Structure 1
Amino acid sequence: MKTEPIQSPSYKQVVDLVKQLNTKEKIQLTEMLEKEILDYKLSDLLKSFKTDEISQQDIDDEVEKVRLEIYERKR
């Protein structure tokens, strides 16, 4: 028995299927897509901030410097 590879549906086919959904199902699909897009955008944003150019020690040093400046101003 030979199995045929499964083809992904085309965009038009997906749209036609979505049109057949009832309102509640469309809302559920929309919410799922929004979450997926949000997850993608958040991951992309986090990747843009990721860097190896600054170490935790650099961050700690800068935080301590700012704390000292604030402390000195309050005296």
Structure 2
Amino acid sequence: MKTALQIDITFDQILSIVKQLPKQQKIRLTKELEKEVIDSKLSRLLSTFKTEELNLDTVNAEVERVRQEIYDKQKR
């Protein structure tokens, strides 16, 4: 059984605690924070591109159209 405890803590208090950590734990904390930010940005980016109108056939057709366009330009 876990008990959740919620406390109010300021950014300056957190910063003070972090400054007391050994170097290796600071590095570990930095990596965890970076991973969280990257995950958040990636999720936001993926949701931006999410669509029901796009499928593999549409993508392949567009790729072939562009390839043909490039090929036609090279023939000139």
Same fold, TM-score > 0.5, yes or no? yes
- The C-alpha deviation readout for 1:35-66, integer Å capped at 9, x for no partner, is 11111111211111111122221111111111
Q: Tell me, which stretches of 5 or more residues in structure 1 are unaligned?
A: none
Aligned pairs, number: 73
Backbone CA RMSD of aligned residues = 2.6
> Are 2:28 and 1:43 equivalent residues in the alignment?
no
2:8 equivalent in structure 1: 10
Amino acid at match of 1:8: Q
TM-score by length of 2: 0.70
1:23 equivalent in structure 2: 23
TM-score by length of 1: 0.70
Partners of 2:30 and 2:24 lie apart in 1 by 10
Partners of 1:31 and 1:4 lie apart in 2 by 27
Segment of structure 1 superposing worse, 17-26 or 4-13: 4-13
- TM-fit CA distance, 1:17: 3.5
1:69 equivalent in structure 2: 69
1:11 match: secondary structure: coil
Partners of 1:9 and 1:53 lie apart in 2 by 46
